[in-house]
Amino acid sequence: MKIFITGGAGFIGSHICEKLYESIPKSKLLILDKLTYAANKSFLSKILIDKKRVKFLQADIINSNKYTNLIKNFDLAINVAAESHVDRSFTNSTLFTKTNTFGAHIFFQNCLNAKVKKIIHVSTDEVYGEKLSGSFKENDKLNPTNPYSASKAAAEIIINSYKYHLKSNILIVRGNNIFGNRQYPEKLIPSCIYNVLKNKPIKLHGNGKNIRCYLSVYDFADAIYLLIKKNKIGTYNIGNNKYFKNIEIAKLICKALNVNPRKYIKFVKDRPFNDKRYSINISKIKSIGWKPKRDLRNEIENIISWYSKNYKIFKLKISNL
Ligand SMILES: NC(=O)c1ccc[n+]([C@@H]2O[C@H](COP(=O)([O-])OP(=O)(O)OC[C@H]3O[C@@H](n4cnc5c(N)ncnc54)[C@H](O)[C@@H]3O)[C@@H](O)[C@H]2O)c1
């Protein structure tokens, strides 16, 4: 199986690459990544050793001439590349549209031109907007509320429109918040860990009461693999139903690091708009035999231990976060 994957040197992408490399023994991977601030090629070091099976290409997803010829007749292409941090999208929104919408469209069109047999696009639960009670199902209306989620929703709408005029095999997955090692320490969990390790305050938006669910990156990669194995197309929510307020996450991390939360947690000005709660219904993905296996409370020690050893690999200084 020949697989093309974008964004493979980032947090989620690198875990998906490892999962597919290990689970599909004869697969060949072509990994494309622009290597933005969030990426690190060393995340792929375990699999890049195998030069026969894994190739890496540093390129922007938008530069189709760099990769169209390389992916001719591939079996599968997975688009994971994105600008992924909501806070940054308020100040640099056009970059988000460029990568997440235009880039995704170019990726998609080029996969079709290259006659790639199946295409997976990694999206987010944020495309639905906030849900104060209940959970969103896959066919619910998209109602993004920030430039990041709008750029992801726009990509989905473009990609989905193809299924009406082309008989293409398209799978869109909408993940909820993902946790694990390798995540750039601007996102809530790694930024809490990073700041405490550096003896700096944990900055929480608003009153810290926004609610999110958190899924292990290993569970997410398992779900992608299962969807590939079962040759599923369409749209799937991938997440879990363990709800955490932001302040609960900060306290959990303070407890694990044995520090007093009152000393570290500071409340800062909220985002211009901050969805109060996200929630997705995962019965569709559960019906094919997947369920989340890992729990944030049990995994937090491992994640902290990884950041304690590896925080120096992230390019930006903590003062910029
Ligand atoms: N992190 C989460 O909690 C979460 C939740 C749901 C969905 N997602 C989605 O999963 C995907 C991966 O997220 P992540 O958290 O791993 O992000 P990340 O920021 O850690 O990694 C993104 C990767 O994409 C690469 N990239 C960015 N722009 C590129 C471009 N123009 N061309 C080629 N490569 C480019 C970066 O170099 C990086 O390696 C994104 O599509 C995101 O929307 C993330």
pLDDT at 100: 98
* pLDDT string in tens for the chain (321-residue length): 999 999 999 999 999 999 999 999 999 999 999 999 999 999 999 999 999 999 999 999 999 999 999 999 999 999 999 999 999 999 999 999 999 999 999 999 999 999 999 999 999 999 999 999 999 999 999 999 999 999 999 999 999 998 877 767 999 999 999 999 999 999 999 999 999 998 999 999 999 999 999 999 999 999 999 999 999 999 999 999 899 999 999 999 999 999 999 999 999 999 888 999 999 999 999 999 999 999 999 999 999 999 999 988 886 644 444
- Nearest protein CA to atom 28 of ligand 1, as residue: 82
CATH of 2-183+213-242+276-296, one of 3.40.50.970, 3.40.50.720, 3.40.50.1220, 3.60.20.10: 3.40.50.720
Q: How many CA atoms lie within 13 A of 225 on its CB side?
A: 21
- Any atom of ligand 1 within 6 Å of the Cβ of 95: no
- pLDDT recorded at residue 316: 60
Residue 319: predicted pLDDT: 45
| Element holding 310 (H helix, E strand) | helix 296-310
The protein residue with its alpha carbon nearest to ligand 1, atom 18, reads 10
Q: Is the CB of 35 under 6 A from ligand 1?
A: yes
Q: For residues 116 and 168, what is the distance between their CA atoms, to the nearest angstrom? A: 9
Q: Has this prediction a pTM greater than 0.85?
A: yes
Domain ranges in the chain?
Answer: 2-183+213-242+276-296
Which residues are CB-neighbours of 214 under 8 A, at least 6 positions away? 176, 177, 178, 179, 189, 240, 242, 244, 249, 296
* Three-state secondary structure call for residue 1: coil
Half-sphere exposure of 40 (CA within 13 A, CB side): 18
| Crossing angle for the helix pair 246-256 and 188-197, to the nearest 10 degrees | 40
Ligand 1 atom having least distance to the Cα of 36: 37
181 lines ligand 1 (CB under 6 A): no
Q: Give all strands (DSSP E) within the chain, no chain letters.
A: 2-6, 28-33, 54-58, 76-79, 118-124, 169-175, 177-179, 202-205, 211-216, 234-238, 243-245, 265-268
259 CA distance to ligand 1 middle (Å): 31
Q: Which residues are catalytic?
A: 125-126, 148
